Amino acid sequence: MPIRAYAFDAYGTLFDVHAAISRHRETIGPDADAFSALWRAKQLEYSWTRTLMGRYQNFWSLTGQALDHALSRFPSIDNSIRPALLDAYWRLAAYPDVLPALTRLRLMGHQIAIFTNGTAAMAEGAANASDVLPFVDVIVSVDEIGQFKTVPDAYGLLLRKLAMQAEEVCLVSSNRWDIAGGKAFGLPAIWVNRTGMPDEYADLAPDRVIASLSELV
């Protein structure tokens, strides 16, 4: 069955999660990269632990909590930067390869979805700020089911929103754990390995591995 739609993870795939820190690098100082990495790691950790506990809070709330933890771990960083960093998360930059890839997919007649742990408003804000939104047919947020990826219901939600079979929807993500979740559910999946990371989840291998969305089509 041919692929009819491509479902793109938002954070780390379409949008650079470290762009918020990059805009304020001079203010944050020499710990900027380590601070950004911890913020992202805690954001993901909270989503997984909350799902396992059955104590859901939306991704925006967890983003703030993760930022607070990162600020507590780096006392040299002035806490007054918190509002600016959270505001920047609504205006994350798209990677340079995103718009050319989406343009090609649109010309080929494929549907395009953003499939995200973030709230629909977060994804729409970033997509609008980065000029991605005109290429997007639908934003699918796990906020609708109150569980984060990689629970099977999240991928089931994607298929219901697209009204398609699993074989017709290709998941595209830079997060290897997301690719594993998609493959476990039965989706074709392409791992965007931007940073040359070693593979994981050998029993749930992606259909393709690419270093850039320029290799997608």
Residue positions annotated with a catalytic role: 9
Q: Tell which residue, 145, 177, 174, has the closest CA to residue 159.
A: 145
Is residue 170 within 8 A of residue 5, CB to CB? The reply is yes
The interaxial angle of helices 176-185 and 152-162, nearest 10 deg, is: 70
**What are the Cα distances from residue 153, in Å, to 51, 102, 168, 196?**
12, 26, 17, 30
d(CA 68, CA 35): 11
Paired tokens of 207: 């259909």
d(CA 105, CA 134): 13
d(CA 31, CA 25): 9
**How large is the C-alpha radius of gyration of the chain?**
17
Cβ atoms within 10 Å of 14's Cβ, excluding its own: 30
